[in-house]
């Protein structure tokens, strides 16, 4: 497998400075959703006098500068169009990114769809999980209606040759957080979505639709862990993520609720999320 991942480092360091923190982006945008938070992680860790561990934000394949994997690297396609092998193959590619840089493990941080990769890392490469943070995500499979919605979104993006099926992610709705309803969110997210490709949108949706239930992995996490959730997240509720934290029975899991915050917590409240992640890094790297 040769899935290509383009990496953006917010800070470059070697293994002698501690395990890297790998920030895995959400759908339907790319690594730029982490820019504010990544810079805050660097700043806060410097203020605390911590060793300058590496901080990376790779573009998930099919987003940003990471190309869409070909059929061979994607794996099988199910009868309904989903990709049952793609998440595992993708997770293996993230593991290779870290090992090729000379690290034996990492602090894996995934937001939303990025959380699927972080959770799958526990199943595929548990020896490489030195720390785990799940942000505004879920580890179970989608309900049938939501799963079909992903597949329909993929088909529409390809048939229309545009990203119109996901533009609504940048549009405010009733009950959204203050930031989500502001131009500070609407403008950059609209631009980032417009810069994605229909093929990349479709690939990520089909990958997510084909993923396995990873709920059973929570109890096997032994590395320091953290869960972060916005109190106005419409798709990953505080209660559902509190249940995930409770299921991590083999480790200590810090739980952070971000107030007046929606689904994209790392962008909406970068300092709060960065604080939780730097706390995690202190537990891992000392």
- Is 3 among the domain residues? no
How much of the chain exceeds pLDDT 70, in percent? 100
- Is 268 among the domain residues? yes
The residue segments making up the domain with residue 259 are 9-285
Beta-carbon contacts of residue 75 (< 8 Å; ≥ 6 apart): 83, 84, 85, 86, 88, 89
> Cβ(251)–Cβ(15) under 8 Å?
no
Assign residue 146 the CATH number of its domain: 3.40.50.1820
Phi, psi (rounded to 5 degrees) for 124: -80, -40
- Is 2 among the domain residues? no
> Cβ(257)–Cβ(247) under 8 Å?
no
Cα–Cα distance, 70 to 73 (Å, whole number): 5
pLDDT at 30 over 90: yes
- Is 1 among the domain residues? no
pLDDT digits (tens, 9 = 90+) for 96-143: 999 999 999 999 999 999 999 999 999 999 999 999 999 999 999 999
- Is 4 among the domain residues? no
| Stretch 281-286: mean pLDDT | 94
DSSP classification of residue 212: P
Number of domains in the chain: 1
pLDDT digits (tens, 9 = 90+) for 68-86: 999 999 999 999 999 999 9
Confidence of residue 238 (pLDDT cuts 50, 70, 90): very high
pLDDT digits (tens, 9 = 90+) for 170-204: 999 999 999 999 999 999 999 999 999 999 999 99
pLDDT of 1: 63
- Is 209 among the domain residues? yes
């Amino acid at each position: 497998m040769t899935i290509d991942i383009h990496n953006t480092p917010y800070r470059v360091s070697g293994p002698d400075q501690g395990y890297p923190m790998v920030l895995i982006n959400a759908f339907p945008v790319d690594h730029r959703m982490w820019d504010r938070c990544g810079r805050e992680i660097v700043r806060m860790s410097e203020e605390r006098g911590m060793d300058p561990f590496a901080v990376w934000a790779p573009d998930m394949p099919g987003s940003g500068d990471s190309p869409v994997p070909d059929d061979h690297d994607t794996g099988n396609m199910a009868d309904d169009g989903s990709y049952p092998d793609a998440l595992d193959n993708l997770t293996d590619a993230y593991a290779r990114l870290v090992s090729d840089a000379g690290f034996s493990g990492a602090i894996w941080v995934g937001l939303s769809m990025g959380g699927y990769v972080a959770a799958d890392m526990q199943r595929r490469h548990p020896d490489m999980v030195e720390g785990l943070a799940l942000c505004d995500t879920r580890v179970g499979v989608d309900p049938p209606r939501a799963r079909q919605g992903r597949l329909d979104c993929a088909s529409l993006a390809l048939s229309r040759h545009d990203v119109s099926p996901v533009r609504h992610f940048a549009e405010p709705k009733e009950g959204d957080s203050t930031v989500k309803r502001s131009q500070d969110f609407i403008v950059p997210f609209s631009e980032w979505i417009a810069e994605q490709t229909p093929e990349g949108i479709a690939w990520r949706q089909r990958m997510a639709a084909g993923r396995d239930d990873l709920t059973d992995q929570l109890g096997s996490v032994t590395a320091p862990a953290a869960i972060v959730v916005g109190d106005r997240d419409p798709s990953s509720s505080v209660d559902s993520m509190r249940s995930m934290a409770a299921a991590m029975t083999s480790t200590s899991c810090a739980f952070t609720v971000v107030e007046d915050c929606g689904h994209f917590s790392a962008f909406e409240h970068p300092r709060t999320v960065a604080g939780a992640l730097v706390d995690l890094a202190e537990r891992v790297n000392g």
